[in-house]
Structure 1
Amino acid sequence: MAFALPSLPYAYDALEPHIDARTMEIHHSKHHQGYTTNLNNALAGTSFENASIEEILVKIDGLSPAIRNNGGGFYNHSLFWQVMSPSGGGTPTNEVGRAIALKWGDFDAFKQAFSTAAATRFGSGWAWLCVVNGNLEVCSSANQDNPLMPGI
């Protein structure tokens, strides 16, 4: 399966003033496109050439650094575009919101824990809301690693 750069579900300027249009354009058309192209090149001729990105990431140990880095970058950015929204924000009131309130007391405390995980990640990386052994946890990963990868 050759991976393709997903279209954004909104315009580059839709997240302003929080993220400016030029930053969105660079991250989508340059960074994410680069991860996509490089992932396809790294997978060519391997047994993972037709696998889904999730199948690749859960079996990442033993695969080349090019597959790890570009596969992670492809997946992470694909998810990022989907969870960002021009009409987003506010305290969630669904099942996730209730689980966050049970774990951290309120959404503001969760945001603080999430922001701390992101800000204290040395170098580049990501902050995540994860389910670990049935419990919500704030996690972080270096570079383009993510929680689908073993040991993260």
Structure 2
Amino acid sequence: MTYTQAPLPYDPGALEPNGMSAATLDFHYGKHHKAYVDNYNKMTADSELADKPIEEVIQIAFKDPSKTGIFNNGAQAWNHTFYWNCLSPNGGGKPSGDLAAKIDSDFGSYDKFVEEFKNAAATQFGSGWAWLVLDNGTLKVTKTPNAENPIVHGQVPLLTLDVWEHAYYLDFQNKRPAFIDNYLEKLVNWDFASSNLAAA
């Protein structure tokens, strides 16, 4: 089935006061993400994958080297749609409710989670993603290279940060750690992560 690029859940300039410029979103959402969606739809049109949900296609293509192009574009289309929802004009700070309690239980404290998440995001060599996932009932921090995501490993993604250079270079240049700090302090959408946990 055709995968539609969902509208951003906020105005492109809404994150600017929190460190992510409208120019970044113009390039990242308007060009990079759009290209992944367009390429995925072209590659799967008139194929045996055309009628399958994108999550199913991602899992099939990940295991088949002949479908690497479909995987890369499909997973990146999905990853970005997920990522936009991980950002909020009212984001940042600590989570609350059940998610906060589970973070304390599974990581030992929120500060320990932050330490693990920052390390995963900062040490992902080259392009990739840092994730908060639910893995067999336990919260874990993971990192994946390029287009790879937790879906292909049987994990439930709750939250992600895109650490490809195009995600931060206009606003932070080569300072990836500053971009990670800004995400956690001003942008992270804990309500979205909490809803993913509740639905798992």
Q: What TM-score do the two structures reach when normalised by structure 2?
A: 0.72
More helix by share: 2
2:126 aligned counterpart, secondary structure? coil
2:27 matched to which residue of 1? 26
TM-score, structure 1 as length reference: 0.93
Q: 1:59, 1:150 within 8 Å by CA — same for their partners in 2?
A: no
Aligned-residue CA RMSD in angstroms? 1.5
| Cα shift readout 1:95-131 (whole Å, capped 9, x = no counterpart) | 2221111122222221121111011011100011112
Q: 1:16-95 maps to which residues of 2 (within 5 A)?
A: 16=16, 17-60=18-61, 61-62=63-64, 64-95=67-98
Ranges in structure 2 where 5+ consecutive residues have no aligned partner: 156-200
After superposing the two structures, state which structure 1 stretch, 88-97 or 65-74, moved more. 88-97
Higher RCO structure (Cα 8 Å, ≥6 apart): 2
Whole-Å separation in 1 of the counterparts to 2:100 and 2:77: 27
What is the number of equivalent residue pairs in this alignment? 152
* Matching residue of 1:149: 152
Distance 1:123 1:97 in 2: 31
* Runs of 4 or more above 2 Å deviation: none
Q: Which residue of 2 aligns with 1:108?
A: 111
The correspondence for 2:127, drawn from 124, 127, 136, is 124
Shift of residue 136, structure 1, vs aligned partner = 1.1
Question: Deviations 1:27-84 (Å, cap 9, x if unpaired)?
Answer: 1110010000000011122211111111112222115111111011101000011121
Identity among equivalent pairs (%): 38
Gaps of 5+ in 1: none
Q: Which residue of 1 aligns with 2:5?
A: 5
